[in-house]
Structure formats: C-alpha cells, structure tokens
Amino acid sequence: MSRGWVVTLAGTGINLALGILYTWSVISKAIPADWNWTEQQKSWPYAIACLVFSIMMVPAGRLQDKISPRWVATFGGLLVGLGMMLASRSNSYFNYMLGFGLLAGAGIGFGYASATPPAVKWFPAARTGMIAGIVVSGFGLASVYAAPLTNWLVKQEGGVPGAMFLLGIAFLVVVVVLAQLLRTPPKGYVPPGTVPASPGAVAKKEDFSPAEMLGTSQFYLLWFMYACGAGAGLMIIAKLAAIADKQAGVALGFVLVASLAVGNGAGRIIAGMVSDKLGRKPTIIGCLLLQAVLMVVLTLATQGSPLSTVPALAVLSALMGANYGANLALYPSVTKDFYGLKNFGVNYGLVFTAWGIGGFALSLVAGKLYDTYQNFSYSCYLAAGLLVLAAAAALWLRPPAAQHIQES
C-alpha cells in the first residue's frame, strides 16, 4: 500500500500541473483589446480544450489500461508543454485554438486519464471515493497557485504570450518527471483491507467491457447527469473573472479563481469521502441541487449589492467550486462501482466525454448570451435549470440490472 500512496501523490502532482486549464479565466481576461477578440472568441480555445480533453480520455484510458500509465502520462506532458508554447507564438485566436485548445487539451486528456486508475487499483473498494478525490483534487487546486502565478507572469513578461511560453516549459517538465512514478499493481494483487465475499453470496459480473457498458441504460443516465453538473461548473470557471469584472464590478478576478480552486479541490476529497459513507446517489443529488441554488445566487451579485464585495464573491466562488469539483470524484467512483476495474480507464473515459461536451456547449453559450444581452444571468438560469433536471434524473440511478450483468 505504500507504493499505492506514491502513485496517488504522483497522480495528484500531475493533476496540479494539468489544472492550468482552469486558469483560462485569467488568461482570457488579460488578452489585450488590440487583439480584437470578442467574448465568444475568447471562449473558443477553452471550449475546444475541454472537448478535446474529454475525447482523448477514451483512447488514453485504453492505452493506460493496456500499455502503461507512465508512458501515456509522459506523452500527455509533452503535448501540454508544446501546445502552450505554440499558442504563445501568435495573437491569433486560431493559433490559440490549435495550441491551447487542441494540443494542450489532448495532453491534459492523456495525463488525466493516467492519474486516477493506477491509484485506485492499489486500495480496497471502501476507499475508492477518497483516493479518487485526492488524485483529482490536484486538478481542482491548481488554480490556487496557477491563477496568481499566471497573473504575475503576464505582468512580468509583458503580456499573455510570455506567460504562456514559460508555463508551457514548466508544466512539460513537471508532468514528465512525475509520470515516471505511476505504476499499476502486479497481476493478482488484492488490496489490504479488501472485504472477502460472504459465503453463499450471489455472483455477479464485476468487470464490463466498453461495449457491455454502452449496452446499459445507466451509462446514458450517468452521462447526462455528468454533462449538466460539469458543464455548469466549467461555464463559471471560464467566465468567473469576466463575471466579477463586468457584472459585479470587482477587478480582482484572479482572487476569485483561486477561491474557486480551493473549493474545487476540497470538494473532490470531501465528496469522495462522503459518498464512501452515505452512497454515491444521495451525494450526487445533493451537490447538483446546491449548485443550482448557487447559480441563481450568482445572478444577484451585481454592482452595489452585498454579494458584489470580494469576500462575498470569494465565498460564493469556493462553494461553487466545491460542488463542481464533487463531480470529478463522484463519477469515476460510481463508474468503478458499476463497471469494475479491469477496463476502468477506457470506461471512465467514455463517461468523461460528458464533461467535455457539457463544458464545450455551456462555455460557448455563456459567451454568445453575453455578446447578445451584455450580462451572464441568462447563462446562469439555463445552467440552474439543467442542474435541477439532472438531480431529478438521478432519482432513477441504480446499479446495472440483472439482465446486463449475467456472464455470457
């Protein structure tokens, strides 16, 4: 199990670097006016990165299952670094879509797909939520340091290009080095603390192939819930600095991004541990409903209101981050519970496409609605409605039915 903790901490460190994705709110706000980017154009690199990230989780998950998480994460680190450096070479948003959106997005997918599966395999099922929460907390916590670091580099290096170039070099080195510590348990390994099956228990299918998982209705229910929960959170992450500036009149957007990141990271660990004790379904429903309420509250944070102060917005940002972050611990855990560990990498990759498509769609919608109505309230109301709908859908969530789990 000591090896398991090394893998867990290495995966957390990799995610701390890959979480540069969440600093786009700071980067996009720092794009100078003479670049002539509209608010919707500023959404495109981030939206594409989210989409490519989620799509790459499928082949990356398969490769880390079959080959090695170490090599897949190494490749991811190289792509992230090279993509960031490429984006820094031009002020064209097409170049940013290619460098940050396509290459860095793909690299994040390869690295992220390789961090959680090897870690949870070292621990018993009763600790799945906690271990998954710890590993993915790195991704959420990244903005705690990356947002102020990016803001500082933008000032020190004379703008966005210099900051992007240095960040690309730094994260390439960090991810590649930590990737060398990722290992899966040897064949036949049984984690200490594993509860043996009780005598006479009914045998059921433990491991689903991707095709078998796609044949269950639970996959599509989980996918819809994940798309709504993650999409709402990603929309806020992409636009938080702009919302603070243009809606609430608060200039310290990077402080709010960092506050959201603290909640994002903490929410992953707390939700994972709570779901280990109370169950995945009630935890998911509670997080979805609370996030819907917070989305509506955010619309009240206008200039002159009590919610428009930095402390109030920081608390609101942290709470929204915690509820969004909970998704990233809960859905890998429930995927493992329902479909097993053997194909966990690729199976969760398929579930994770909901994260990318939800983030892609709602991020673009937020930019378009702002350009049309000059406020973000319509986006928040739309997201709140989707969150309530997802919570209602979660009431039907059950483990795969008997007809789907019989061995052929």
Domain boundaries, the chain: 2-185+211-399
CATH of domain 2-185+211-399: 1.20.1250.20
Residue with tokens 């906690």: 130
Q: Name the pTM for this structure.
A: 0.77
Reading the block at residue 312, the tokens are 């109030």
Reading the block at residue 113, the tokens are 């797909």
Task: Report the C-alpha gap between 298 and 237 in whole angstroms.
Answer: 13
Query: Residue 143: which H helix or E strand, with range?
Result: helix 128-156
Residue with tokens 């099922």: 125
DSSP symbol at 309: S
Task: Report the C-alpha gap between 76 and 67 in whole angstroms.
Answer: 14
Task: Report the C-alpha gap between 350 and 330 in whole angstroms.
Answer: 15
For residue 180, the Cα-to-chain-centroid distance in whole angstroms is 23
Supply the pLDDT for residue 407: 43
Supply the pLDDT for residue 402: 45
Task: Report the C-alpha gap between 35 and 405 in whole angstroms.
Answer: 55
Q: pLDDT (tens digit, 0 to 9) for every residue of the chain, 408 residues total?
A: 688 899 999 999 999 998 877 778 778 888 888 888 887 788 788 888 888 988 898 899 889 888 889 999 999 999 999 999 999 988 888 899 999 999 999 999 999 999 988 998 889 888 888 898 899 888 878 877 887 888 889 888 878 889 999 999 999 999 999 999 999 888 888 887 776 655 544 445 578 999 999 999 999 999 999 999 988 887 777 666 667 666 656 666 567 777 887 888 889 899 989 998 999 999 999 999 999 999 888 888 776 777 777 788 888 888 988 998 899 889 999 998 999 888 888 899 899 999 888 877 887 787 777 777 777 788 888 889 999 999 999 999 998 864 444 444
Task: Report the C-alpha gap between 105 and 312 in whole angstroms.
Answer: 32
Supply the pLDDT for residue 12: 94
